[in-house]
Amino acid sequence: MRPDHGRAFLLRAGELPGAALALLLPVVSAAQQPTAAGAEALRAGRYEEAMKLYREALGRDPASAPARLGLAEALRLTGAYPEALEALAPAGNQPEILVAEAHIHLETGAGEAARAALTRAREAADEADPSTSVEVSGLLGRLELRLGERAAGLARLDEVLDAYNRSPPGTLSPRALTAVGQAAVALGFQSSGLFRDALRVFDEAAALDPHDPLPVLAAGELLFDKFNTAEAGDSFASVLSKNPRHPRALVGAARIRRPGVGGASPGGPAAAMEIADPLEMALAVNPDFPPARALEVERLLERERYEEAGERARAAVRATPGAPETLAALASFAFLSGETDELEGIRGRYAAAWPGDPRLDVALGRAAERQRRYREAAGFAGNALAGSPESAAAARLLGLNLLRLGDMARGREVLEAAFLRDPFDALLKNNLDLLDELDGFRTIRKPPFEFVLPESEADLLAPYVEELAREALEDFGTRYGFEPGGTVRLEMYDRSADFSVRTVGITGIGAHGVCFGRTIAMESPSARPVAEYHWASTFWHEFGHTVAMGMTDNRVPRWFTEGLSVLEERKRFGDGANLLFLTALRDGRLLDVKDLNDGFTFPTFPGQVQVSYFHASLVLEQIERDHGFDAILGVLGAFREGKDTGEALIAVLGMDAAALDAAVDATIEARYGAAARSIGAAPSSGSDRPPPAVSGTELDAVLITAAASPEDFVARMRAGIALFEAGRDADAADHLEEAAAILPSYGGADSPLRYLASIHERNGRPGEARKALSGYLARFPAAYAGWLRLAEMRTASADPEGAARALEAAIGAYPLLADPHEKLAGLAAASGRHAIELRERKAVLATDPPDRAGALHQLAAAHFRAGEHTAARRRVLEALEVAPTYEPALRLLLRLRREG
């Protein structure tokens, strides 16, 4: 286990004498009233009002530095950068004015102008006032690092820390303290304790001036960078509660609320974080704020809306040509859209302007990572790390992407090195802890596969996992012409939290599997309750991604690879629509093909991701049906060439996305339209099941509803289930049969067929019961108990082959219990299928049964029957080692001895 904290840097503890606070409280004269009111408006985000008041104040007193600074700040925050500089110009020799000017230049990416302003500020600073000097040095030092003047920058930042350590408590201004904290963050790679110290100094600054958002924002950004999204969210929420229009806080909130990065409610953010779309608000306040514009482009790229992203990125660079964020955004667009010349041009510009700032390569790496291009992501991260060896972001990006590529040793090495510098990084710690866990897993190499399984489950899982993997390789290989071209690594996690860390670095992901190309990570069956997770179809799905990514050099759009995987999953394991899809269809919420990516990356309603999976598979099904399977191969080939969805569809199918939409819509309408429209009572938000059944006095109401809406699937289901639970089988069957007729392709866990099977069985109709149960399981293969029941029914009807198939399916649903293995072994033994019997006897043993001696003896006997006498002898000895007087085993031992 890794330590949670590193060594603390020896900064002095900040002490706040009461007098210091008193000094900060201004005495406001009548002449200063507009300035005070302006400050209040500025703090509350009423920027226009603040500007008006400050202008009034300057009209009365043109020499008022507070009014001038306030006006410039309001203008800066709203993106009126030239006007902000203009407002400062008349007082351009005062240190605080020059610092404000530098802030504007830094924000817009004018590095040399910022340096000039800061140099002048330092010269103009009053030596008796250490605060300005500390603030200027802090800003200058960090700027020098970004400009590639590493030695000078580090030396200057060290001086800032020294100045803080030398200064008597309470003497530095809040802004100076914030600069000290930021210097500590920049130097954090030297001593991890500095991050903690930085947070303390930010707190010190915030306590001195509770109105200043800067230290709180700096703390929030540091916490976010360390993946402490809960506390980061609190910081941004704290700023937004006072000023809901603060662009930097809004961008911080928007980053936290990105899907997959902590979700919408990290640690229960304050109401201020509930702003509908913080990014939209930030851009409304300041349309040219570089971090906001960069985030906007990033999101468009994630949605694979390249054209729009390009337009927005170019506009952003036109507005702030030197800002590293906007340059990085444009570079990301150029990379993902294959505009290599443009990319090289931007790289050149960036290298000239910000030679010491790794942000461009880190942004490129993240863009590549988001589009599942992990090898390129690692390449960019490597570049960033080579130029800025202390960059935690670059190390994290490189390490994680190496792990995704299956290069576990190098990935671990990079993450270990980064963690030594920064033990506060939650993502680093989570991943290194996970790698420690993986050390205890068993790695089984069966080329081209490498299976990494929990040690306690490896004996049991390995045969089934390998068998399924080989089947997938053969099946996909034959139809798609796919060859992995290297080792395919499959990691199975028995703890959902470990799987989640492997996937996104933090816990809480809702998925079961993830594919990084030739590396697949997924939950083992034991990670979820029985019947809630179907491991075999999850593997099949993820292997579909391996194929799609491999055949496109990882350029396949998200919607297409998901559609392909779900279609393949449906073909192999069962096929059925659920209520989420039907209600989305009824409500007109299915997306167009061109927007399908949004359904996965930026869902707008609960359950939309699940709806999009199924919908995408219907699109792929349509392509295959109308244009042949080769068309799917053709589209994959087009993606490999760098074409986007629209281009690929035209090139291969000869139709655009809208035409494909029309065809898919027609199929969906024919197959599901009537059933979807009949659904009256929408299921609860995000649910894939009908509303729960009722009992008692509500029964009459449910029956009345069903009678009034005989075509309503949900009404029929509710009535059928209620009657079933009341023991009124005949009446229940009427409703359930109607429900099944309305929606024969329903694939939910509570299919009408499930209930009908029970009704038929308890009313002595075994044939109909088997048929209904088979129908149910064909669309809901995770129903472990259903498969066992079907096996029993088939055994009772003298259908051992059918029973064996059902038992195989039960194992596909959940292989960790002995029951289906024992039964399947018995059936295999009876039919002389030694290989299956041996596999199943070994599985029984791997479940660690209470009767270990019995299980070993059965395995020994199976080996004997298969003619494997050496193995039989070893196993019977092991049985007798536990039970030395166990007579059947003793007899087998003698027999083996006598037969040699």
CA distance 286 to 78: 4
Instruction: State yes or no: residue 880 binds another protein (CB under 8 A).
Output: yes
Least distance to another protein from the beta carbon of 806, Å? Answer: 16
Cβ proximity to another protein: between 75 and 861 the closer is 861
- Strand 442-446 and strand 488-493: the pairing is unpaired
Cβ proximity to another protein: between 116 and 877 the closer is 877
Cβ proximity to another protein: between 358 and 854 the closer is 854
Edge to edge, the sheet with strand 513-515 lists: 442-446, 449-453, 488-493, 519-523, 513-515
List 184, 648, 723, 861, residue binding another protein (CB under 8 A): 861
Which residues pair with residue 488 across a beta bridge? 449
Instruction: State yes or no: residue 850 binds another protein (CB under 8 A).
Output: yes
CA distance 230 to 424: 14
User: Position of tokens 């009678």?
Assistant: 707
Cβ proximity to another protein: between 354 and 784 the closer is 784
Instruction: State yes or no: residue 895 binds another protein (CB under 8 A).
Output: yes
DSSP code at position 487:
P
Cβ proximity to another protein: between 508 and 832 the closer is 832
Least distance to another protein from the beta carbon of 267, Å? Answer: 24
Least distance to another protein from the beta carbon of 896, Å? Answer: 9
Instruction: State yes or no: residue 375 binds another protein (CB under 8 A).
Output: no
Question: For residue 811, what is the enclosing H or E element?
Answer: helix 800-813
Instruction: State yes or no: residue 898 binds another protein (CB under 8 A).
Output: yes
Cβ proximity to another protein: between 504 and 892 the closer is 892
Cβ proximity to another protein: between 344 and 851 the closer is 851
> Considering only 245-253, 459-467, 575-583, 891-899, which stretch makes contact with another protein by CB under 8 A?
891-899
Dihedral sign (CA 134, 218, 243, 289) = positive
Instruction: State yes or no: residue 888 binds another protein (CB under 8 A).
Output: yes
CA distance 290 to 268: 28
> Considering only 256-264, 332-340, 665-673, 858-866, which stretch makes contact with another protein by CB under 8 A?
858-866
Cβ contact 191:38 at 8 Å = no
Q: Tell me, what amino acid is at 865? A: R
CA distance 441 to 446: 16
Instruction: State yes or no: residue 889 binds another protein (CB under 8 A).
Output: yes
Angle, alpha carbons 425-429-431 (nearest 5°): 120
Least distance to another protein from the beta carbon of 637, Å? Answer: 46
Contacting another protein within 425-444 (CB under 8 A): none
> Considering only 67-75, 133-141, 670-678, 822-830, which stretch makes contact with another protein by CB under 8 A?
822-830
Instruction: State yes or no: residue 207 binds another protein (CB under 8 A).
Output: no
Least distance to another protein from the beta carbon of 245, Å? Answer: 45
* H helical segments located in 641-762: 645-653, 657-668, 674-678, 698-708, 713-725, 729-742, 752-762
Cβ neighbours of residue 262 under 8 Å, at least 6 residues apart? Answer: 229, 230, 233, 256, 506
**Token output for 753:** 């067929």
Cβ proximity to another protein: between 43 and 895 the closer is 895
Instruction: State yes or no: residue 782 binds another protein (CB under 8 A).
Output: no
Binding residues for another protein, how many (CB under 8 A)?
39
Instruction: State yes or no: residue 874 binds another protein (CB under 8 A).
Output: yes
SS3 labels along 216-271? HHHHHHHHHHCCCHHHHHHHHHHHHHHCCCCHHHHHHHHHHCCCCCCCCCCCCCCH
Least distance to another protein from the beta carbon of 851, Å? Answer: 5
Cβ proximity to another protein: between 357 and 494 the closer is 494
> Considering only 88-96, 379-387, 658-666, 820-828, which stretch makes contact with another protein by CB under 8 A?
820-828
User: Position of tokens 């030092």?
Assistant: 141
CA distance 549 to 562: 11
List 98, 163, 675, 893, residue binding another protein (CB under 8 A): 893
Instruction: State yes or no: residue 508 binds another protein (CB under 8 A).
Output: no
**Token output for 169:** 């408590």
Instruction: State yes or no: residue 820 binds another protein (CB under 8 A).
Output: no
Which of helix, strand or coil describes residue 515?
strand
Instruction: State yes or no: residue 890 binds another protein (CB under 8 A).
Output: yes
Least distance to another protein from the beta carbon of 888, Å? Answer: 2
Instruction: State yes or no: residue 892 binds another protein (CB under 8 A).
Output: yes
CA distance 428 to 436: 12
**Token output for 97:** 């004015």
**Alpha-carbon dihedral 628, 633, 634, 637, rounded to 10 degrees:** 170
> Considering only 249-257, 260-268, 694-702, 879-887, which stretch makes contact with another protein by CB under 8 A?
879-887
Least distance to another protein from the beta carbon of 883, Å? Answer: 4
Q: Tell me, what amino acid is at 517? A: G
Q: Tell me, what amino acid is at 241? A: S
Q: Tell me, what amino acid is at 366? A: R
> Considering only 354-362, 444-452, 553-561, 826-834, which stretch makes contact with another protein by CB under 8 A?
826-834
Contacting another protein within 521-580 (CB under 8 A): 529
CA distance 169 to 185: 21
User: Which chain residues interact with another protein by CB under 8 A?
Assistant: 529, 822-823, 825-826, 829-830, 832, 848, 850-854, 857-858, 861, 864-865, 874, 877, 880-895, 897-898
